[in-house]
A and B are shown apart, each in its own frame.
Chain A
């Protein structure tokens, strides 16, 4: 299928499938109530907006979103696809949840299994190519260039890769390619990396090759995963190529990466240039787009920050990202923090190095991220919370004058006032049973 002369490929013959089922457990309380792709980002967006906007901006008109874990936020967010202009008779964004099949268990057992179980959806659209994406990453990519590369090399599948410092490669799937970028080997999370090219979770398949591989790997062998099973299987039978990506790409799978990547937005000349990337979200969700512009009251101070619609600032906000409807009352100080939708910081409170989910209430004169309370790692989640950031789950309430240290974790809905806790030392966790 070489692209020669005037022959062109119609992008509408590409079907995008976005894997949005991931739990992303290292994001801790942020994924207690939603899947990782649905985690809010940059004030108004959700992580999946990046992949979806790339799909839209690349001129691909149909996308299926494979969900499994906590899909409610995601389906509410995607709506009918209006946010990305993907509506009409032949344009769509479609949620593909697990469904009852004829076989034993209905849940998706892995990435490849999820796609295998939706081959009916693929069949119905009869695309020439399937663009398979992870909904977990922050990046801008013109998939047209990727698809052109796929056509030019005559690959059965093309894997987007990016070079990173080799010492960081053991956390990723790596790809070993020859001088023509033909893939020789996949090496998942290697202890001793032999290549500095990591797979970005962005693949193009020629549909026939995808179907015949999944039918064998998932249908016959009952295997489930692209990285572990499908690609190694294809490698022996089909030409697979790597596509080298030179732009910005970031996995935000940890609280630290999530926090730092958000903060990138505030830098002048940031590589994360959302208007230029054309990232779009669904403003109709919860009528976000009807909220009035951010209001800065007399006496408020704002620096190095971004304030979404409906935010009302009476206090001080510095180096922070505030989602729609966040209120910072008089005399309150918010610094180095990410506060999500409709969270309220009451007067005189200090909020430092906090990620607060939606509708969190921080009482008057509370002190969060208080450095006097030490900087111990979180004892329950030492791998998640060790960089000084305190995370607060959705709709938790922090009582007046409560002091909370660093690396703390507060579960969604927790009402600390009922626990008689006045001081929460760094590294502590407040668990709360959802009812």
Chain B
């Protein structure tokens, strides 16, 4: 049999809205899907690039948490070919309806409130994705599998040796049919974790979500999937390539380690970004002045490097002045590291300034005033625009939020 080469009309819905407390100061004014990654990319570039490669014509982006940077980044959608007749990328914020206004009450509710967006595009298959995962996947294969199994819902899973309990876990039969599913279990029944990639037949999606309309909140993992197991054909698609998520500071940091190790290969994955995102895109290539002691690092456009950089990722427009040391750190755009300052094991948000001779991160005790442990690995976090005074010290795992702005010492 010749396989059908034309897929059913597919519309992507990207769950991009959330802010997670685990990311601390990094998501004070951006949703986690808009976090910069690898210098001048943003996390949402990964699912969007997968969408582009699959030739999907429309993507709705569900966002309710401080979406400004996301809106700027998506732009007109041209970067992912989501532009032109019958195509589009659309940010779908919560809206006022005749019968009152609704913030999204859970990720499935966000989709429920935008079923009309899907219907207007004559959607036959709704591909629901998370905006903050790092992977490359051919969604066409996933959809073909879904069709092959005559499934109502197909969920991508991955086997993890040491799964994080924040995931949802499933058990499958020999045919790949999902027979049990539990979100964030105390004791996972399997090592098969959901990647929050759902292929829904549109009619089933409308029916199932419609039936839950009166619930206080609806989550796919907690409510929708378990409710469907008995009456619908729910299948698991096993994905076994690289996949990472960035919900915690450590996971985000480790994804950058994987980037430096070549496990994440932006070029091979053909990850696309928006070249007109004015916050992140600079034109002039980085300049290295004196002998640069740069090792195992990625250096973005607009950087001027005079000091030492090691095992780090420098975003656009970063300046590392003479005698300064940046080690095992992630610096967002336009961070300045003044002379003789030392930055170790830190994530420094945009436009922060590390004063002359200041010492950041590395070894030492976490300050007690910061509350719960944000990074088990002791990654220090410096918020957007923070100025660390000359000679000041921020210990390992220390967090300086933008409200501490101006002089931290």
Residues of A within 8 A of B (CB): 42-45, 82, 265-266, 268, 274-275, 279-281, 283-284, 287, 289-310, 322
Contact = CB atoms under 8 A, between A and B. Distances in A.
B362 to A, nearest CB: 20
B283 A279 contact: yes
A306 B283 CA distance: 12
B297 A295 contact: yes
Given A283-B283, A303-B288, A303-B290, A275 B302 contact: yes
Nearest to B296: A298
Interface string B359-381: 00000000000000000000000
Contacts of A284: 275
Interface in B159-189: none
Contacts of A296: 292, 294-297, 299, 309
Contacts of B266: 290-292
A268 B298 contact: no
Interface string B252-288: 0000000000000011001111011000011111111
Contacts of B35: none
B372 to A, nearest CB: 33
B45 to A, nearest CB: 9
Nearest to B300: A293
A292 B38 contact: yes
A41 to B, nearest CB: 12
Contacts of B282: 275
Nearest to A310: B267
Contact of A292 (B281, B287, B289, B298): B298
B287 A275 contact: no
B283 A274 contact: yes
B39 interface: yes
B313 interface: yes
A309 B271 contact: no
B294 A281 contact: no
A303 B306 CA distance: 9
Contacts of B301: 293, 308-309
Q: Which DSSP category, helix, strand, loop or mixed, fits chain B's interface? A: loop
A309 B38 CA distance: 12
Nearest to B292: A302
A281 B314 CA distance: 22
Interface residues of B, number: 37
A296 B270 CA distance: 21
B40 interface: yes
B296 A291 contact: no
Contact of A275 (B284, B288, B292): B284
Given A293-B39, A303-B288, A283 B295 contact: no
Nearest to A45: B283
Contacts of B290: 303-304
A59 B68 CA distance: 27
B306 to A, nearest CB: 10
Nearest to A281: B283
A283 B299 contact: no
B303 to A, nearest CB: 8
A293 B283 contact: no
B291 interface: yes
Interface string B33-68: 000001111000000000000000000000000000
Q: Closest 5 interchain pairs by CB?
A: A289-B275, A283-B275, A308-B285, A293-B298, A293-B300
19 contacts: A42-B285, A274-B284, A275-B283, A275-B284, A283-B275, A289-B275, A290-B266, A291-B267, A293-B40, A293-B298, A293-B299, A293-B301, A293-B314, A295-B297, A296-B309, A302-B292, A303-B291, A306-B284, A309-B301
B285 A306 contact: yes
B284 A290 contact: no
A82 B276 CA distance: 9
Interface string B5-36: 00000000000000000000000000000000
Given A292-B267, A293-B314, A306-B287, A287 B299 contact: no
Contacts of B300: 293-294
A301 B291 contact: yes
A298 B295 contact: yes
A301 B276 CA distance: 32
A149 to B, nearest CB: 29
Contact of A295 (B78, B289, B298): B298
Contacts of B291: 301-303
Nearest to B265: A292
A266 to B, nearest CB: 7
Given A275-B302, A290-B270, A307-B285, A302 B38 contact: no
Contacts of A299: 295
B260 to A, nearest CB: 8
A302 B291 CA distance: 6
Given A287-B272, A295-B297, A296-B294, A304 B285 contact: no
B301 to A, nearest CB: 7
Nearest to B295: A298
Contacts of B296: 296-298
Nearest to B298: A293
Contacts of B292: 296, 301-303
Contacts of B297: 295-296
B13 to A, nearest CB: 24
Contacts of B313: 293
B294 A302 contact: yes
Nearest to A83: B275
A297 B295 contact: yes
Given A275-B284, A281-B283, 18 more contacts: A44-B285, A82-B276, A274-B284, A275-B282, A279-B284, A287-B272, A289-B273, A293-B299, A294-B300, A296-B294, A296-B297, A298-B296, A301-B291, A302-B288, A302-B294, A304-B288, A307-B285, A322-B285
A45 B41 CA distance: 21
Contacts of A283: 275, 281, 283
B381 to A, nearest CB: 22
B258 to A, nearest CB: 13
Nearest to B40: A293
A419 to B, nearest CB: 33
A279 B295 CA distance: 30
A82 B282 CA distance: 15
Contacts of A290: 266-267, 270-273, 275
Contacts of A43: 285
Nearest to A282: B275
A307 B286 contact: yes
A296 B320 CA distance: 15
B295 A307 contact: no
Contacts of A265: 287
Contacts of A305: 287-288
Nearest to B266: A292
Contacts of A302: 288, 291-292, 294
Contacts of B289: 268, 303-304
A296 B312 CA distance: 10
Given A293-B314, A300-B295, A309 B285 contact: yes
Contact of B283 (A82, A280, A292, A295): A280
A166 B261 CA distance: 57
B39 to A, nearest CB: 4
A184 B276 CA distance: 47
Nearest to B309: A296
B273 A300 contact: no
